[in-house]
């Protein structure tokens, strides 16, 4: 199974007089970067949500948006935190004394200070709310991964097609190489004969020159390694899993071999094929950046 790093998933969990909606979207990133936007009422569950997502998503910049709607009446109670209010008043009085200003705090103002008056859930509500929240998170994650899997499979099909094309280019280079040597041998032979004007031709020196030339433009090692890298990438794609980093490393090696083949080429036909090969390698490198 192959996953793209880009995707979107949404899910709504409905309970009695409550609704939790979760949206998950992601783009490429070297590591897993989770950004969770959650209502204050649900912040106590953020660690649980984060742990669950880490188990189900390996890489990507992932944004999670959670919304909560509560239509219930009479199931919550207000709580007055007297000790915290006293602390606020103590510090406010100290501030008034330190700066010689009037302490004009009113009850209505103090009641709006954080956590002075809070809403507490009725007995048993926490567990119900947690179950509803995690149902939405899990549902959104399933839909998110389903979308990523669909895109990942499309990427795999396209990449395997490009890898097969690259093997075809390697075949053309290997087939053309002996002809290049033979053509060079004939050109060199004709040129030397022309210079010597039918005098004796030193075949051994000619053979030495041809060997040196053949060694200079030889790409046997590069094509063998390139075939190995292409096979390794295909096998890795078919195996699936969290393979993006491995594919990126293989693609770097493929790029190195294709660059060497192009730099060694002195033949127009091989150069054209090597350019096509390098172009496909670059396309593959770009596409695997989307793979988890």
In order of 43, 174, 195, 218, 270, the CA distances from 212 in angstroms are 72, 19, 21, 10, 19
Report pLDDT for 11: 97
- Residue matched to tokens 């695997």: 288
**In which residue ranges of the chain is CATH 1.20.140 found?**
151-290
Q: pLDDT category, 15, cuts 50, 70, 90?
A: confident
From the number of C-beta atoms within 10 Å of its C-beta (0-12, 13-18, 19+), residue 170 rates as buried
7 has pLDDT over 50 = yes
pLDDT digits (tens, 9 = 90+) for 143-195: 999 999 999 999 999 999 999 999 999 999 989 887 877 766 666 666 655 55
Question: What average pLDDT does the segment 33-50 reach?
Answer: 93
How do residues 90-139 score in pLDDT, each as one tens digit? 999 999 899 989 888 888 888 888 888 876 655 446 788 899 999 999 99
Backbone angles phi, psi at 116, to 5 degrees: -70, -50
**70 pLDDT band (50/70/90 cuts)?**
confident
Q: How far is CA 86 from the centre of its chain?
A: 51
pLDDT given for residue 198 in this prediction: 54
CATH 3.30.230.70 domain locations along the chain: 7-72+125-148
Would the pLDDT of 289 be above 70?
yes
Question: Residue 212's pLDDT is what?
Answer: 64
Q: What is the pTM of this model?
A: 0.70
What are the helix (H) ranges across the chain? Answer: 46-56, 82-99, 107-110, 125-196, 203-217, 220-239, 244-264, 268-287
User: Any alpha helices (H) in 100-196, and if so which ranges?
Assistant: 107-110, 125-196
pLDDT in tens, 206-264: 667 666 666 666 778 888 999 999 999 999 999 988 899 999 999 999 999 999 888 88
Cβ atoms of 144 and 292 within 8 Å: the answer is no
Please, which residues bridge with residue 32 across strands? 60
CATH topology of domain 7-72+125-148: Ribosomal Protein S5; domain 2 (3.30.230)
**Count of other CB atoms within 10 angstroms of residue 174:** 15
For the chain, give the mean pLDDT. Answer: 86
| Contact predicate 41/20, CB 8 Å | no
Which residue's structure tokens are 């004394």? 97
Domain 151-290 has CATH 1.20.58: no
Token representation of residue 5: 């790093």
Q: Using the 8-state DSSP alphabet, how is residue 219 labeled?
A: -
Under the banding of pLDDT at 50, 70 and 90, the label for residue 266 is confident
DSSP secondary structure code for residue 43 in this structure? G
Residue 49 pLDDT > 70: yes
Output the CA angle 265-266-267, nearest 5 degrees: 95
Q: How much is the pLDDT for 272?
A: 92
> Phi, psi (5° rounding) for residue 24?
-125, 130
Q: How far apart are CA 279 and CA 54, in angstroms?
A: 36
Tokens of 281: 């390698």
| The predicted structure's pLDDT at residue 116 | 86
| Span of 25-34, 76-85, 90-99, 189-198 with lowest mean pLDDT | 189-198
Between CA 131 and CA 120 the distance in angstroms is: 18
């Amino acid at each position: 199974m192959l996953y793209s790093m880009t995707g979107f998933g949404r899910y709504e969990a409905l309970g009695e007089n409550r609704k939790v909606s979760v949206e998950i979207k992601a783009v490429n990133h070297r590591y897993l970067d989770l950004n969770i936007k959650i209502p204050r009422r649900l912040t106590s569950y953020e660690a649980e949500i984060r742990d669950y997502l880490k188990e189900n998503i390996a890489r990507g910049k992932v944004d999670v948006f959670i919304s909560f709607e509560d239509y219930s009446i009479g199931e919550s109670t207000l709580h007055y935190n007297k000790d915290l209010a006293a602390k606020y008043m103590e510090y406010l009085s100290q501030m008034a004394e330190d700066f010689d200003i009037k302490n004009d705090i009113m009850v209505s103002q103090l009641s709006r200070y954080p956590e002075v008056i809070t809403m507490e859930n009725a007995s048993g509500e926490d567990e119900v709310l947690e179950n509803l929240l995690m149902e939405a998170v899990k549902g959104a994650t399933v839909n998110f991964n389903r979308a990523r899997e669909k895109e990942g499979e499309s990427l795999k099909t396209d990449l395997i097609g490009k890898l097969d094309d690259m093997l075809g280019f390697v075949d053309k280079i290997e087939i053309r190489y002996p002809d290049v040597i033979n053509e060079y041998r004939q050109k060199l032979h004709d040129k030397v004969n022309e210079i010597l004007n039918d005098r004796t031709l030193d075949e051994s020196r000619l053979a030495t020159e041809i060997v040196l030339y053949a060694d200079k433009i030889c790409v046997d090692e590069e094509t063998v390694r390139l075939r190995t890298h292409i096979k390794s990438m295909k096998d890795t794609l078919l195996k699936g899993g969290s393979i993006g980093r491995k594919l990126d490393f293989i693609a770097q090696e493929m790029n190195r071999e294709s660059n060497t083949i192009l730099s060694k080429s002195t033949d127009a036909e091989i150069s054209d094929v090597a350019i096509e090969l390098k172009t496909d390698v670059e396309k593959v490198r770009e596409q695997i950046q989307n793979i988890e």
